[in-house]
Amino acid sequence: MIFARKVWAILVGIKDAFALLFLLLFFWALYTVLTARPNPGLIREGALLLKLDGTVVEEPAKIDPFALLLGQGAPIKEYRERDLVRAIEAAAKDDRIKAVVLDLDTFAGGGQVHLQRIGAALDTVRAAKKPVLAHAIAYSDDSMLLAAHASEVWADPLGGAIVTGPGGNRLYFKNLLDRLKVNVHVFKVGTYKSAVEPYIRSDQSPEAAEALGAVYARLWDDYRTDVAKARPKANLDLVTKDPVGWLQAAGGDTGKAALQAGLVDKLGDSTAFGARVAELVGEEAGGTPGEFRKTELEPWLADRDEDTAGKPIGVITIAGEIVDGDAGPGQAGGDRIAKVLDEALDDDLSALVVRVDSPGGSVLASERIRTAILRHKAKGVPVVVSMANLAASGGYWVSTPATRIFAEPGTITGSIGIFGIIPTFEASLADWGVTSDGVKTSPLSGQPDLLGGLNPEMEGLVQAMIEHGYSRFIGLVGQSRGKTPAEIDTIAQGRIWDGGTARQLGLVDQFGGIEEALAYAAKAAKLGEGDWHPEYLGEEDDAFRSLLVQLLDSGDDDARDSRSGIGGIVAAQQAALAARLAHDVALLSGHGGMQAYCVECPVRAAPAPRGERANLLRSLIGLAGFGARRS
């Protein structure tokens, strides 16, 4: 028996040793994968292929690796706008790159400011006498805005292009809430603070329609101008003013209609398109028909280090909804961003650029970020704000420390107002025979009571806090902009503005992107050209996330195109509706404290998971029974 025990112990020891060895080998292999630089052989003479299978964002969202591993597939890819611009501009100067190719088959879109900046980068490639070629089964507004900057635009014969312009409907819940006897207590300041309207109205107010209509008109005009400049032959009036007549004139053939409107140059499947690219850059040796010599985005970027010469100018990114806590990246957690800024206090930054792409959110979190920025300003560090697609409500709150604010004409800003929403259910419960009673030692005892209702004292207290928050907001803006609170009040009231109008009103100082803001910050810090470099604070390459996404992404073209069928269309519609409903319900019940949030801003809905999204033209084709697939 003793001998058997000893043998068993030896076997267990051997098993444990092998397990430990394999574990060490696994982590060594993982470390090797995560830290390895791309093989130089991956950078090849030919085309730079930008296969944009996802969305363009200011800051890619952080993904929980455990949720990713336990999920149903890879998440939607997110491409940082700055990375794409850097890659494209480098391609314009590198002799190894003969052309830039845009694969927009599964492009899920991005903000208009971001897409226009990428379009300007594509223009530098064409200015360097290099062709830019784009292909998609079907183009919608966002993909067309990028493709317009290409020298050749291809679409699938069963696809085409369609442009709809900004706008659409919102859901209004007042009648439903009345039927359920839910009392929605709304506290707000601002004639135009229409974020609360879905819960107290059954339609849009005239004030909200006026404000949103003006912004949409400016965005649409900006879009049309950009497309017309990049692609003079495109006839958007033909497409948008009489879409039925336009399509009927082409016999219902969407591809032919896109050709006639000048939106695309040629019709052909991916194989024919690839063969055309191969004519320009060379065929892939031993490849299948339609394959061409190429370098893809990730190795191209990894092979090109960002400049770190000179003194650092810090860039802090505030992207997504501003929330309390450590959330992000992809969400602007107030605690996280404040900590990053405080840790940079000892970094001897020459200046600080605050890059904002946010509709706002928590007042408390916005104030935490603002005061952290002020700690840099107190050290004598110049502070400059660069607004991307959105810098509204809380997004403007965090911009107030700046001595100079840059924005684009298509930036949406303003929405200077505060609101709070508290739903109570006393009437709903009464229908089921549930009432409330008790002993109170003061008017505020037990308040706020979501089940028994709010009393007048609590309602008055909350409204007073909201009004004080608004007074503080317009005071901060007035101090920043050199105006009185009364002057700011006339242009605040929760109204949103486009970047051009905001500049006229004094809410923005100058047109320009992040490059112009950095140049201004360098000048303010008395630094010459070549004496500084941008240092993006708190940014780390999430190599583990990238690895998991690649492992979970099958790359199956058939799977990519299956969403053009009716099943994919229904799934995409359900996902978009569910996302919007979840957002509205969260606004009604999930936010704590005062909110400086621009719900009325035309923010795009989050894309559905991979394999479940489709643009309008794909949907129409699918419903017509075509089910187009890649060749």
Positions marked active-site: 193, 393
Give 418's strand partners.
Answer: 189
**Pairing between β-strand 418-424 and β-strand 183-189 as defined by DSSP bridges:** antiparallel
Q: How far, CA to CA in Å, does 105 sit from each of 97, 155, 629?
A: 22, 9, 11
620 closest CA partner among 253, 87, 104, 84: 253
| Sheet order of strands, 152-161 included | 266-267, 152-161, 132-139, 97-103, 46-51, 294-296
Which helix or strand (DSSP H or E) is residue 49 part of? Answer: strand 46-51
Does residue 592 come out as left (phi exceeding 0), alpha (psi in the -120 to 50 range) or beta? beta
Q: How many residues does the chain have?
A: 631
309 residue type, one letter? A
Residue pair 187/462 in contact (Cβ under 8 Å)? The answer is: yes
Give 406's strand partners.
Answer: 386, 510
Upstream peptide bond of 329 is cis (omega within 30 degrees of 0): yes
Beta strands in 320-364 (DSSP E): 322-323, 332-333, 351-358, 360-362
392 closest CA partner among 328, 466, 464, 318: 318
Q: Give the three-class secondary structure for 56.
A: strand
DSSP state, 76?
Answer: P
Separation between Cα atoms, residue 115 and residue 119, nearest integer Å: 6
What is the b/e burial string over 491-503, where b = at least 16 CB atoms within 10 angstroms of the residue's CB? bbbbbbbbbbbbb
Q: Which residues contact 203 (CB under 8 A, 6 or more apart)?
A: 172
Q: What is the CA radius of gyration of the chain?
A: 27
Dmax over CA atoms of the chain, in Å, equals 93
Residue pair 341/373 in contact (Cβ under 8 Å)? The answer is: yes
Q: Residue 137, exposed/middle/buried by CB under 10 A (0-12, 13-18, 19+)?
A: buried
Give 292's strand partners.
Answer: 283
Q: Which residues contact 97 (CB under 8 A, 6 or more apart)?
A: 45, 46, 47, 48, 91, 130, 295
Residue pair 390/113 in contact (Cβ under 8 Å)? The answer is: no
Residue whose pair of structure tokens reads 């060379």 in the numeric block = 282
